[in-house]
């Protein structure tokens, strides 16, 4: 099965309607670029995109330009969230402030902040779904990471669609590339000459995920696919997380506890 067929199958499993409004979280990298490209190709015409401009110098500028070029090419509306304007600082400075109080890795902090922004903005833009570029390699890494951290139940929230708990303030996130290997996405992006920034984020250093990624490089494609298939088989059997969803006492966004993960990092 080629990449288009696999994505088509995944989309039919997610059961989104072509009329639903899908907001693609576009980073400028190959994965989310391919998501926007295939969704458009398959006739999802209620499609828009959002790019979070992290204001990390030259790298961010290249990412912003790539997303603008893609959206122009596909004829989709692009929203740019300027982190400096909206949150008062670049991602590097926000992260350094957090790290002066807490010992957390770069990617962990950036990930929490990006999710918070995406949910809030998707709600503001009245999107039915947020589509991200997560692929098979990302998902198997997350699964392994959760097991190695001793919290396999965290994987219960992941899957083709992340709904956490049905909640009016939480916009479900979908992953059209869930069953696609990273190397196939790269090949597809190159073949279709998509405007993509291939260099890695300069701040993605020293994360636990990178360690796992290195280890998982030793697995064959088949082994990665099997890992994911088996994960999906046992997923429902892992202890479920607490069923309640609250709203953060500081920012009002969905939260598991009294305060959301983002406010725990930034505002405390
Ligand atoms: P990452 O955690 O950086 O691997 O990104 C995972 C997914 O989040 C990407 O495939 C994108 O869909 C989305 N994403 C990452 N960075 C950005 C960004 N700067 N703006 C919008 N979406 C992003
Ligand atoms: Zn909050």
Instruction: Give pLDDT tens digits for 41-89.
Output: 999 999 999 999 999 999 999 999 999 999 999 999 999 999 999 999 9
Task: Give the residue, by CA position, lying nearest to ligand 1 atom 17.
Answer: 27
Cα–Cα distance for residue pair 87/81, rounded to 1 Å? 10
Atom of ligand 1 nearest to the CA of 50: 21
Q: How high is the pLDDT of residue 62? A: 98
Gap between the Cα atoms of 139 and 158, Å rounded: 8
- pLDDT of 164 reads 63
How many whole angstroms from 133 Cα to the centroid of ligand 1?
Answer: 7
117 in contact with ligand 1, CB cutoff 6 A: no
- Integer Cα distance of 117 and 262 in angstroms: 9
Higher pLDDT, 226 or 28: 28
Q: What is the mean pLDDT of residues 94-103?
A: 91
Strand ranges of the sheet holding 161-162, from the earlier edge strand across to the other edge:
77-82, 47-53, 22-25, 129-131, 173-174, 161-162
Centroid of ligand 2 to alpha carbon of 8 (angstroms):
36
Confidence class for position 209, pLDDT limits 50, 70, 90: confident
Q: Mean pLDDT over residues 132-152, rounded? A: 89
- Please check the confidence at residue 242 and state whether its pLDDT lies above 70: no
Report pLDDT digits (tens) over 102-112: 888 888 899 99
CA–centroid distance, residue 174 to ligand 2 (Å): 23
Report which of 32, 42, 46, 14 is spatially closest to residue 194, judged by C-alpha positions: 32
| Site to substitute for ligand 1 among 24, 26, 212, most atoms within 8 A of C-beta | 26
Q: 27 CB less than 6 Å from ligand 1?
A: yes
Query: How many residues are recorded in the chain?
Result: 268
Q: What is the pLDDT of residue 145?
A: 86
C-beta 111 within 6 A of ligand 1: yes
Rounded Cα–Cα distance for residues 32 and 24 (Å): 7
Listed in order, strand segments (DSSP E) in 6-132 are 22-25, 47-53, 77-82, 129-131
Q: Which residue has the higher pLDDT, 25 or 225?
A: 25
| Summary mean pLDDT of the chain | 91
Is 53 close to ligand 1, i.e. is its CB under 6 Å away?
Answer: no
Predicted pLDDT of residue 234? 82
pLDDT digits (tens, 9 = 90+) for 162-205: 866 678 899 999 999 999 999 999 999 999 999 999 999 988 87
- Given this model, what pLDDT does residue 151 score? 83
Q: How confident is the model at residue 260 (pLDDT cuts 50, 70, 90)?
A: very high
Say how far apart CA 163 and CA 151 lie, in whole Å: 19
Whether residue 243 has pLDDT greater than 70: no
- Select from 25, 107, 110, 208 the residue to mutate for testing ligand 1; criterion: most ligand atoms less than 8 Å from CB: 25
pLDDT on residue 37: 97
Q: Would you state the pLDDT for residue 185?
A: 97
Question: Do the beta carbons of residue 54 and residue 91 sit within 8 Å?
Answer: yes
| Protein residue whose Cα sits closest to atom 2 of ligand 1 | 111
Ligand sitting nearest the alpha carbon of 122: 1
Q: For position 39, what pLDDT does the model report? A: 95
| Closest atom of ligand 1 relative to the 54 alpha carbon | 19
Q: What is the pLDDT of residue 156?
A: 77
Rounded distance between C-alpha atoms, residue 48 and residue 131, angstroms? 10
**Model's pTM, two decimal places?**
0.93
Quick one: CA torsion of 34, 35, 37, 39, rounded to 10 degrees? 150
Measured in angstroms, how far is the CA atom of residue 264 from the centroid of ligand 2? Answer: 7
Q: What's the 262 CA to ligand 2 centre distance in angstroms?
A: 6
**Three-class DSSP labels, 52-85:** EECCCHHHHHHHHHHHHHHHHHHCCEEEEEEHHH
């Amino acid at each position: 099965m080629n990449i288009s067929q696999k994505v088509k199958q995944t989309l039919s499993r997610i059961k989104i309607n072509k009329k639903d409004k899908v907001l693609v979280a576009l980073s400028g990298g190959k994965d989310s670029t391919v998501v926007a490209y295939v969704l458009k190709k398959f006739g999802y015409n209620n499609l828009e995109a959002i790019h979070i401009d992290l204001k990390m110098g030259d790298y961010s500028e290249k990412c912003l330009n790539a997303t603008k070029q893609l959206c122009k090419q596909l004829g989709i509306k692009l929203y740019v969230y300027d982190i400096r304007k909206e949150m008062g600082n670049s991602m590097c400075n926000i992260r350094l402030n957090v790290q002066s109080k807490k010992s957390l890795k770069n990617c962990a902090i950036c990930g929490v902040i990006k999710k918070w922004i995406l949910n809030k903005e998707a709600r503001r833009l009245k999107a039915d779904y947020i589509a991200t570029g997560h692929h098979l390699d990302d998902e198997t890494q997350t699964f392994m990471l959760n097991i190695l951290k001793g919290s396999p139940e965290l994987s219960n929230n992941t899957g083709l669609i992340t709904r956490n708990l049905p909640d009016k303030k939480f916009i479900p996130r979908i992953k059209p590339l869930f069953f696609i290997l990273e190397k196939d996405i790269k090949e597809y992006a190159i073949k279709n000459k998509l405007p993509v920034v291939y260099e890695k984020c300069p701040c993605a250093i020293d994360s636990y995920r990178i360690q796992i990624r290195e280890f998982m490089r030793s697995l064959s494609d088949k082994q990665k696919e099997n890992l994911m298939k088996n994960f999906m088989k046992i997923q429902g059997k892992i202890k479920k997380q607490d069923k309640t969803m609250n709203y953060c006492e500081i920012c009002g966004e969905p939260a598991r506890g009294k305060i959301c993960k983002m406010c725990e990092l930034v505002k405390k």
